[in-house]
Amino acid sequence: MDKLKSWFFLHKVTVILGIVLILIGIGGFIAFQKITAQSSGPVEEVDLPFDAEGPYALLFPRRDGNALVLNLKRTGSYDGISYELAYTSTPDEKVVAGSKISEDGEGGVSGSIDRGVMGDINTEDKKGEYEQEILFGSCSKNVCKYDKGVENGTLTLHIRKGNKGYRMITQWHLQKPDIALGNLISGDGHLIYKVDGDRQALSNIGFTITNDLTGVPKLPSGKMVLGKVYSLNVPIAKELTGGLVSLELADNPSAGAKLFRYNQSKSEWQELDTKVEGSKLSAKAEGAGIFAVLTSK
């Protein structure tokens, strides 16, 4: 009887030990998978080309020109987003250590300090749209020091989906409107918006910003994009008066191509009465928005 009891006891201990070992093995396998997934990360980051249905960034200037507002669209399917804002500014009387400053022929400062701002977007809630203000400068203890003379730069977005990394680059031009000419121009000079009527109204706007896009709002049925797409924006709660917009393509457009403006307040594309001269398309527009040349598929 004692032998039988001993056998049952040993058998029970063996079964328990076996179960414990199995559980340890499963836990170790899960932990190994997590560590492997985290350590592998994006093996290679690739440039994300223009995709009409892909993510894109709209930029808005702050009224004082010392910051921009980054508005990201179609981000719900991505796991992580970070940004790099690169631009140049004019130097103050004191030269900041570590900045790259070009010199004029007499050894003085010609005014081109390379600046950069980096940051992360919190994507834990998996929203389809994010908004964040980015300063041209820095703040400490409620005291801010802003960079001067900021006009041109690039925004690089690093987005991660699983173990794949993508890079989106957009060029932007921040402009204090030229009241005399009333011209608002993109960084590459291919989009020009000439304000009609009372140009003095531009002084109330403060600043405008133009940037090219890597994606667009949902296109009208049967339409596709030709060339670059540009977003022209003024500070939030401000309005840009009507004007003549012109967009120049790299090549002559196909027959039937038209200029379109996406009205963000109405969430719709509006076909403009377009005049075509070679590779340049022009039309009257009612204000700021997204401008693109669309043609039939």
173-205 tens-digit pLDDT: 999 876 667 789 999 999 999 988 766 777 788
Please report, to the nearest 10 degrees, the dihedral formed by the alpha carbons of residues 138, 58, 246, 201 taken in order: -60
Identify the CA nearest to 177 among candidates 207, 133, 222. Answer: 207
Q: How far apart are CA 147 and CA 88, in angstroms?
A: 9
Q: What is the 3-state secondary structure (H, E, C) of the chain?
A: CHHHHHHHHHHHHHHHHHHHHHHHHHHHHHHHHHHHHHHHCCCCEEECCCCCCCCEEEEEECCCCCEEEEEEECCCCCCEEEEEEEEEEECCCCCCCCCCCCECCCCCECCCEEEEEEEEECCCCCCCEEEEEEECEEEECCEEEECECCCEEEEEEEEEECCEEEEEEEEEEEECCCCCCCEEECCCCCEEEEECCCHHHHHHHCCEEEEECCCCCCCCCCEEEEEEEEEEECCCCCCCCCEEEEEECCCCCCCCCEEEEEECCCCEEEECCCEEECCEEEEEECCCEEEEEEEEC
The pLDDT of residue 37 is 47
The pLDDT of residue 38 is 46
Q: How far apart are CA 70 and CA 60, in angstroms?
A: 7
Identify the CA nearest to 150 among candidates 171, 132, 176. Answer: 176
Q: How far apart are CA 10 and CA 5, in angstroms?
A: 9
In the block, tokens 């457009």 appear at 253
The pLDDT of residue 65 is 92
The pLDDT of residue 102 is 45
CB atoms within 10 A of CB 222: 9
Contacts of 243 (CB under 8 A, 6+ apart): 182, 193, 194, 195, 196, 284, 285
Q: Write down the domain spans for the chain.
A: 45-296
The pLDDT of residue 3 is 52
Helix runs in the chain, H state only: 2-40, 202-205
Cβ distance 23 to 136 under 8 Å?
no
The pLDDT of residue 36 is 47
pTM of the model: 0.78
The pLDDT of residue 237 is 85
What six digits make up the tokens of 119? 């940051």
How do beta strands 113-121 and 80-89 pair?
antiparallel
What six digits make up the tokens of 166? 């993508």
**Digits of tens for pLDDT over the chain (297 positions)?**
555 455 455 555 565 655 655 655 555 555 545 544 444 554 578 888 889 998 999 999 998 999 999 999 988 888 888 999 999 998 865 544 444 444 444 444 456 789 988 988 887 788 888 999 999 988 888 888 999 999 999 999 998 888 888 899 999 999 987 666 778 999 999 999 998 876 677 778 889 999 999 999 999 999 999 999 999 999 988 889 899 999 999 999 999 999 999 998 889 999 999 999 999 999 999 999 999 999 998
